Amino acid sequence: MSVAGTTSSALRRVVISGGPGSGKTTLIDALRARGHACCEEVSRQLIREQHAHGGALLPWRDLPGFAAECERRMCGQLAETAGHALVFLDRGLPDIIAYLRHAGLQPPSRLFADARAYARVVFLAPPWQAIYTQDAERPQTYLDAVALHAELERAYRDCGFTIVPLPRADVATRVAFVERVLAGAPNPVSP
């Protein structure tokens, strides 16, 4: 398989996922501060944009439309990161599968195939009530975040990923954990 001119053995697009409020964006920001290439979460970008101009393309108003736009943007991230030796992404295409399933909707089959563009290891942040907060971009309750986490696990497993749970620990510990896993595992990110 070849994605955007990069052979599959060279792909190192590592997804960090997890339910809402599990600390994954904080981890992405810390990895960026350490010099790693990182991509922001497209769903939060889209929600901010929609709030800013009163748009209706929000997951709680139009989940199918919202998911389609997130998919388009995530595919754009894949194209943009083709030349990177290592890049961390805040969520991946299997997240769309999980969110659609959580709402009782059938995800498009192409999402399962397109998920092969990521490294086969995904770091999954578990629900963590001590750090969970709601805001305008995250209106879900903690119990809903727990249910979404279960769907994320299922989606990533269904797409053939090896799930590495992140520890419930401070961000420095999580950064060290991710770097240690990627450095110590024999070719942990090859699809």
All structural domains of the chain: 2-184 (3.40.50.300)
Residue 40 or residue 188, greater confidence: 40
Please name the residue that has the structure tokens 């409020």. 21
Confidence (pLDDT) at 9: 34
Structure confidence at residue 155 as a pLDDT band (50, 70, 90): very high
Could you tell me the maximum CA-CA distance found in the chain, to the nearest angstrom?
Answer: 48
DSSP secondary structure string, the chain? Answer: -EETTEEGGG--EEEEEESTTSSHHHHHHHHHHTT-EEE--HHHHHHHHHHHHT----TTT-HHHHHHHHHHHHHHHHHHTTT-SSEEEES-HHHHHHHHHHTTPPPPTHHHHHGGGS-SEEEEEPP-TTT---BTTB---HHHHHHHHHHHHHHHHHTTPEEEEPPSS-HHHHHHHHHHHHHHSSSTT--
Q: Count the Cβ atoms, other than its own, within 10 Å of residue 10.
A: 16
Asked whether the predicted pLDDT for residue 37 surpasses 90, the reply is: yes
Share of the chain above pLDDT 70, in %: 89
Share of the chain above pLDDT 90, in %: 68
CA distance 154 to 151: 5
Contact 162/190 with Cβ under 8 angstroms? no
pTM of the model: 0.86
Contact 112/97 with Cβ under 8 angstroms? yes
The string of pLDDT tens digits covering residues 136-151 is 666 778 898 899 999 9
Residue 63 or residue 187, greater confidence: 63
The string of pLDDT tens digits covering residues 99-142 is 999 999 999 999 999 998 999 999 999 998 888 777 766 677 88
Averaged pLDDT for residues 71-91? 92
Confidence (pLDDT) at 132: 74
